[in-house]
């Protein structure tokens, strides 16, 4: 039980001792509690307000007024961090009894909270290191442990001291390695590190990693050999004897149930320490050792660091970043006010317009129609191109005299516009011909014209490419988003033929539905399969 004098005036809740962290002036509260904790480490149990103020001046921080300091001390007492006692040591007159003179000291809860915060700050500030010296110390500790265990009557005091030193060194190695690999990953990701600082220390970091990997290979192999050669039964027996001695110190009466619980805790603690040491250096049961995993991660970190350096150098060299260019182009498409503007942006960005040369006249078109062999013909059989002798002699062709007049191509441009309009009308008619009123069989899609059949082949190819293995239905959109096709397989479907002016398509019958995308509550919404890359399907 806790004495009444140990409680503050108002008993705090369990976590009220952390209330000063979320209060205005939290930094000042932390400095005040740090002064009390430092005083306790110097065996000063109580402090007067003026002692606290002097300590705040000594630590280099800003001073604080007496009234403000008293208010903060009272708040810390109310939250349970401090407790106060009347200061009667300096009373020399009756009126001194009526003055407020208090001595302040840390409560058990306040000390635990402040130590926890210090541990938290230390953990955040730890950068970690790959300690090759710790590996050498662990190897020496294992050798000494082997000599002590080999004795007929080992000295339990020396054995406990060796095991404690070995455990502490191993714990430091594991914690520092974890912290170092985390900080190394942050360095690779350039989190909180400038590019100039990264370039400045990357050579030292890579050399440091290479040296540690070399030490880990040599010393780690020696440690693993010492662990394999150790007598496991003898080590376990000695660990149980050390655990029994610790349990006896905690609960001297062996008949007390608390003694049995203390013995079990101590035995589990020491066995877990040995098991952790073994698992860190020795692989077993298909599980890689932590030392091997650390070596693998350290080896992988070196090319990762070099890749980061390469990317930084590329950015500094001013080379274009294709992904950034495409993201910028996507934003331009999203901000375009109309489809016409987006089409013009597409033509300007990619230049994929069909080749429509204005110099192609009716005579050329008639010749191409009369001699279809010119399309796709071998070079030896194709129509020759006439080259000027002047070009062959000098490598340059310059016509003497006046330049040609600018030709009026208004009529030709009008013809191209009319041709484009006819093509757009043909595509619209093809879409209308393909749109189905609900699901239909492929065998019912017969007698399609050339344009409708070509568009249908494109839709069918996209649907088949997006189908997952074992899936029965597919739901995808056309490349331009104007149509959407749903394709469902039919069990034991026969092979059907779809006829068109361009030929006959043979394949198993399916249920197909082609429609213009948009909200339609009458349609049954089926699960939509993600569109796959046709090249991957192939």
Report pLDDT digits (tens) over 225-280.
888 888 878 888 888 888 887 777 766 666 677 778 888 888 888 888 888 888 88
Confidence bin at 331 (pLDDT 50/70/90): very high
What CA–CA distance (Å, rounded) separates 438 from 524? 10
**Do residues 230 and 149 touch, judged by C-beta distance below 8 A?**
yes
Report pLDDT digits (tens) over 167-198.
888 777 777 777 777 777 766 666 656 667 76
Output the average pLDDT for the chain. Answer: 76
Report pLDDT digits (tens) over 106-162.
888 888 888 888 877 766 555 545 566 778 888 888 888 888 888 778 787 888 888
Residue 286, burial from CB neighbour count under 10 angstroms (0-12, 13-18, 19+):
exposed
Q: Which residues contact 169 (CB under 8 A, 6 or more apart)?
A: 134, 137, 138, 141
pLDDT at position 360 is 62
Span of 73-87, 125-139, 280-294, 455-469 with lowest mean pLDDT? 125-139
Confidence check: pLDDT of 515 > 70: yes
pLDDT at position 122 is 67
Question: Where is pLDDT greater, at 216 or 97?
Answer: 216
DSSP state, residue 532: P
pLDDT at position 397 is 61
Task: Please give the average per-residue pLDDT across 506-518, as a whole number.
Answer: 82
Residue 302, burial from CB neighbour count under 10 angstroms (0-12, 13-18, 19+):
middle
pLDDT at position 524 is 45
Which residue pairs from 290-294 have beta carbons closer than 8 angstroms and sit at least 24 positions apart in sequence? 290/174, 291/216, 291/220, 291/223, 291/224, 294/130, 294/177, 294/181, 294/216
**Do residues 401 and 422 touch, judged by C-beta distance below 8 A?**
no
**Angle of helix 49-58 relative to helix 66-79, nearest 10 degrees?**
110
Confidence bin at 335 (pLDDT 50/70/90): very high
Confidence bin at 336 (pLDDT 50/70/90): very high
Confidence check: pLDDT of 363 > 50: yes
Span of 80-84, 91-95, 217-221, 338-342 with lowest mean pLDDT? 91-95
Confidence bin at 356 (pLDDT 50/70/90): low
What CA–CA distance (Å, rounded) separates 104 from 49? 8
Confidence bin at 318 (pLDDT 50/70/90): low
Task: Compute the chain's Rg from CA coordinates.
Answer: 42
Q: By percentage, how much of the chain surpasses pLDDT 90?
A: 2
Q: What are the domain boundaries of the chain?
A: 4-123, 130-308, 433-537
Q: Which residues contact 219 (CB under 8 A, 6 or more apart)?
A: 132, 135, 136, 139
Q: By percentage, how much of the chain surpasses pLDDT 70?
A: 75
Query: What are the angstrom distances between the C-alpha of 418 and each of 330, 423, 508, 519?
Result: 31, 9, 40, 34
Helix, strand, coil % (nearest 5) of the chain? 60, 10, 30
Task: Please give the average per-residue pLDDT across 280-289, as a whole number.
Answer: 79
Confidence bin at 334 (pLDDT 50/70/90): very high
Task: Please give the average per-residue pLDDT across 338-357, as a whole number.
Answer: 76
Task: Please give the average per-residue pLDDT across 327-336, as a whole number.
Answer: 91
pLDDT at position 489 is 83
Question: Where is pLDDT greater, at 321 or 312?
Answer: 312
pLDDT at position 521 is 41
Report pLDDT digits (tens) over 395-436.
666 666 777 777 788 888 898 889 889 888 888 888 887 888
Residue 399 phi, psi (nearest 5): -80, 130
CATH 1.10.10.10 for domain 4-123, yes or no, is yes
pLDDT at position 219 is 84
Question: Where is pLDDT greater, at 4 or 120?
Answer: 120
Question: Where is pLDDT greater, at 10 or 136?
Answer: 136
pLDDT at position 386 is 66
pLDDT at position 354 is 53
Task: Please give the average per-residue pLDDT across 44-64, as a whole number.
Answer: 74
Confidence check: pLDDT of 497 > 90: no
Confidence bin at 333 (pLDDT 50/70/90): very high
**Do residues 206 and 302 touch, judged by C-beta distance below 8 A?**
yes
């Amino acid at each position: 039980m806790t004495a009444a004098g140990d409680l503050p005036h108002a008993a705090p809740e369990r976590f009220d001792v952390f209330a000063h962290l979320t209060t205005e002036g939290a930094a000042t509260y932390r400095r005040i509690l740090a002064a009390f904790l430092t005083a306790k480490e110097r065996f000063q149990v109580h402090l007067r307000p003026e002692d606290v103020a002097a300590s705040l001046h000594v630590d280099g921080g800003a001073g604080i007024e007496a009234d403000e300091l008293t208010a903060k001390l009272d708040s810390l007492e109310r939250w349970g961090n401090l407790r106060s006692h009347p200061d009667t040591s300096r009373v020399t007159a009756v009126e001194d009894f009526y003055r407020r003179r208090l001595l302040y000291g840390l409560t058990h809860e306040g000390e635990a909270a402040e130590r926890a915060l210090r541990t938290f700050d230390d953990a955040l500030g730890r950068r970690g290191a790959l300690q090759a010296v710790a590996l050498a110390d662990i190897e020496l500790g294992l050798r000494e442990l082997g000599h002590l265990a080999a004795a007929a009557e080992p000295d339990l005091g020396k054995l406990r001291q060796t095991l404690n030193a070995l455990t502490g060194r191993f714990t430091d190695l594991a914690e520092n390695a974890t912290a170092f690999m985390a900080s190394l990953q942050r360095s690779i990701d350039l989190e909180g590190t400038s590019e100039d600082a990264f370039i400045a220390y990357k050579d030292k970091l890579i050399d440091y990693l290479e040296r540690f990997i070399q030490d880990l290979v040599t010393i780690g192999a020696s440690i693993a050999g010492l662990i394999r050669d150790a007598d496991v039964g003898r080590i376990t027996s000695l660990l149980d004897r050390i655990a029994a001695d610790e349990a006896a110190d905690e609960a001297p009466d062996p008949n007390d149930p608390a003694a049995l619980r203390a013995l079990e805790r101590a035995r589990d603690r020491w066995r877990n320490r040995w098991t952790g040491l073994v698992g860190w250096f020795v692989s077993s049961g298909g599980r890689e050792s932590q030392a091997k995993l650390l070596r693998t991660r350290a080896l992988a970190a070196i090319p990762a660091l070099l890749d980061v350096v390469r990317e930084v150098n590329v950015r500094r060299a001013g080379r274009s970043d294709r992904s950034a260019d495409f993201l910028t182009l996507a934003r331009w498409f999203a901000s375009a006010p109309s489809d016409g503007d987006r089409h013009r942006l597409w033509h300007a960005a990619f230049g994929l317009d069909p080749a429509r040369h204005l110099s192609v006249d009716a005579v050329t078109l008639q010749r191409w129609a009369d001699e279809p062999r010119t399309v796709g013909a071998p070079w030896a059989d194709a129509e020759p191109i006439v080259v000027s002798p002047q070009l062959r002699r000098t490598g340059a062709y310059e016509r003497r005299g006046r330049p040609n007049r600018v030709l009026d191509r208004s009529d030709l441009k009008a013809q191209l516009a009319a041709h484009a309009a006819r093509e757009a009308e043909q595509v619209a008619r093809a879409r209308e011909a393909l749109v189905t009123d609900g699901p239909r069989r492929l065998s019912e899609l017969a007698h399609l014209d050339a344009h409708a059949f070509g568009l249908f082949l494109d839709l069918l190819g996209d649907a088949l490419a997006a189908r997952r293995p074992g899936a029965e239905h597919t739901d995808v959109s056309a490349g331009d988003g104007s149509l959407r096709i749903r394709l469902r397989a039919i069990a034991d479907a026969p092979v059907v033929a779809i006829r068109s002016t361009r030929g006959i398509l043979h394949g198993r019958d399916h249920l197909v539905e082609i429609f213009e995308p948009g909200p339609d509550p009458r349609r049954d919404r089926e699960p939509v399969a993600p569109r796959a890359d046709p090249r991957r399907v192939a």
